[in-house]
Structure 1
Amino acid sequence: MMQGCENPQIDPQSRRAPRVSYRMAEVAATLAEPGTLALFGFGDDAPASTDPRYLQVALQAFDAPAPMELWQVDAPVGCGSDGALRWSAGGGWLFASIELDEREHGGPVATARLAYERLHRFVATREARHVLRVWNYLGAINHGDGDAERYKHFCDGRATGMGDFFAEGFPAATAIGHHGDPHRLQVYLLACDQPGTRVENPRQVSAWRYPRQYGRTPPSFARAMALPAQDVLAISGTAAVVGHASAHQDDLDAQLEETLTNLEALLASAGMAAGFDTRSPLKAYVRHVADAPRVRAFLHSRLPGVPVLLLHGDICRSELLVEIDGWRYA
């Protein structure tokens, strides 16, 4: 049964992108602030809440206590839930999330299919039906060999479940392996009642055109998405990939350099000025705990003042040591 809180009137003229920030915050007080569309805590130590706008992400932060991630819009926000699916909406923007246990739904392929079927059916009922950005967090992402790898199973299930969900083109996206319950799948998205503009990286093969060596089903995402007002770029998970191949195996510093080169290429492709600033929050997903201090020092040196949330996560290719995604505000 669908349950919800207030259902506000949406101002069709309000299209300013959500403001994304990291802050040390108390959950209830932050959710009570006007315009709170979504709030994220990270890891097992994050507080719990039943509010549909809050998600306790399965990824552990390297900083303790960890800041929360906050999305805010310039409009009243309504929220609700439908079983495992939770949502909030305001100002023409929609947040939706779903968390499923693979043991209850027939394994990784079936669970990914169900997650995307449920999200597809729900978003199709909303005015904000243009999906711009998706995050996928799954356990044990690199376990299994060849086509039996869990990430490839996830891609198979996602493709089956999405149907014509992304008929107008793939959204920006991230897929990262968490170190919590290996059967836990979390998917959440940002959608709008207006479409965005997809951005590709000229240094990389588009993900949906990857050759067969990367699985039966290629990944389904754009490298970035310019949000409708064209004042914010939502950047997909970006790593040391050139063409379609992983670069600099076992060399963390070289992978970081290549990743920054790819990020700058995306900014140029989107027609944005080079560089990131204090209004451009990023996430850095680091495979090995021992690498976190080096990643932190590198990013502090190369991206001074840029808010970076450092998270323990496995990249979808086992040879990649770090991945970065986030937001770039014009």
Structure 2
Amino acid sequence: MTHASVSPFEVAYLPVERAGELRADDEHLLAAIHYGDDRTANSTLSAHIAVPLQPLGHAFIEVWRSHERVTRGERDDVTFSHNEHLLMGQIIVSEDDYGDLDAATFAAYRRLYSFARKQGFAHPLRVWNFLPDINGRETGLERYQGFCQGRHGALQTRATTSQQLPAASAIGTQGGHFVIYFIAAREPGAQVENPRQVSAFNYPRHYSPKSPSFSRAVVKRWGASAHLYISGTASIVGHESLHTADTLAQVDETLSNLDALVRHAGSQHALGIHSVRDLSLLKVYVRNAVDSDAIAARFTNSTVAEIPVMILHGDICRGDLRLEIEGLYMGQGAAD
């Protein structure tokens, strides 16, 4: 069993030049997430997840490492690994099998929740969605709206309420399959909303016929330790996109949103975290690759300069948003 003061896993960014350090026989490796053309991936590594987004700037492998031995396998079209406390899974969806993204998403999320429940990890904490052409049109809707409809429908069949939603990101890729990966636990986390933003599940219907079904963040306690999983966050205040013609202003607004969320989570859940600068890792998705140098420079001269950051080339769910930032905190949390 995991010691009460230690979380069951940790996450770090490993430079791709050190990919050789990842071993197929590593019994503590939950996942190694590779971004880009995948030339650094170890094809014998069953814990490998490939995300078709190109790194901008320095390239990293995202390494999830367990403090306990890990069990790995594939079942019900889900590739998975788990320790005693956490399940990590990957689903690769072929949209051609379903006709449209709405139906494909519905099926994938039904599979995700059913599989997690059967494995004894009935509470998804964080989900990542990478889908081709997120801003394209299909069956009269933007594809992101179709994705939202499918996810909403699947969660409705699980009787999931707006207070039981995982943190999530949905990012557009330039091709390939629809890729989902997720983490789930035996006990639920605590949902956190952002005081500067309307909860996504309460958005006006013109954003999507069915609301985006995710929370702004989730707090999960692991004994005396705590994690904060922050959803993809953008330059949105209330429910409206701001600074649509100014990339760096969107960076600043997004960091303000993250700071407000972190402060709210820290005070609401007695976490050892007080501002955005206390986060452990950041990941930035950038719509236009030419903006990446300016964004990286802004980070270097901001309050988050000391936080490891990965920058990736990906489309954002709204066409007027130029970037999205997600975060992770791994640290201490006082007992409830």
Query: Common fold, TM-score beyond 0.5?
Result: yes
How far 1:15 moved relative to its partner?
6.6
In structure 1, the gaps of 5 or more residues are: 1-9
| Residues 1:238 and 2:239 aligned together | no
- Structure 1 249/60 Cα, relative in aligned 2: closer, same or farther at 3 Å? same
Q: Which residue in 1 is equivalent to 2:168?
A: 173
Q: TM-score with structure 1 length normalisation? A: 0.90
Q: How does 1:21-60 map to 2 (within 5 A)?
A: 21-24=12-15, 25-26=18-19, 29-46=22-39, 47=41, 49=43, 51-60=45-54
1:177-196 pair list within 5 angstroms: 177-181=172-176, 184-196=177-189
Structure 1 position 329, deviation (Å): 2.6
Distance 1:31 1:269 in 2: 40
Give the match for residue 325 of structure 1: 326
Q: 1:270 to 1:86 in 2, by over 3 A?
A: same
Percent sequence identity over matched residues? 38
TM-score, with structure 2 as normaliser: 0.88
Q: Hey, what's the Cα distance between the residues in 1 that align with 2:121 and 2:308?
A: 29
Cα distance in 2 between the residues matched to 1:115 and 1:288:
29
**Matched residue, 2:275:** 274
Equivalent residue, structure 2, for 1:227 = 220
For 1:145 and 1:124, the matched residues in 2 are separated by 32
Q: Does residue 159 in structure 1 map to residue 143 in structure 2?
A: no
The 10-residue stretch of structure 1 (308-317 or 82-91) with the greater mean CA deviation from structure 2: 82-91
2:121 aligned with 1:132, yes or no?
no
Match of 1:107 among 82, 100, 104: 100
Structure 2 unaligned regions, length at least 5: 267-272, 332-336
Q: Give the drift of 1:314.
A: 0.6
Query: What amino acid is the match of 2:34?
Result: G
CA distance, structure 2, for counterparts of residue 14 and residue 92 of structure 1: 14
1:199-246 CA-to-partner distances (Å, cap 9, x unmatched) read 110110000000111111110000011112362211100000000111
1:92 equivalent in structure 2: 85
Q: 1:259 aligns with which of 251, 254, 257?
A: 254
Change (3 A) 1:92 1:195: same
Please say if residues 197 and 227 of structure 1, whose CA atoms lie closer than 8 Å, have aligned partners that are also in contact. yes
- Say if 1:241 and 1:154 are closer, same or farther in 2 by CA, change over 3 A: same
Cα 1:105–1:48 change in 2 (3 A) is farther
Q: Does 1:295 align with 2:295?
A: yes
Determine the C-alpha separation between the residues in 1 that align with 2:159 and 2:51: 24
Give the Å deviation of 1:48. Answer: 5.2
Q: Is the 8 A contact 1:234 1:328 kept in 2?
A: yes
Q: Distance in 2 between matches of 1:114 and 1:273?
A: 39
The residue number in structure 2 matching 1:3 is none
RMSD: 2.1
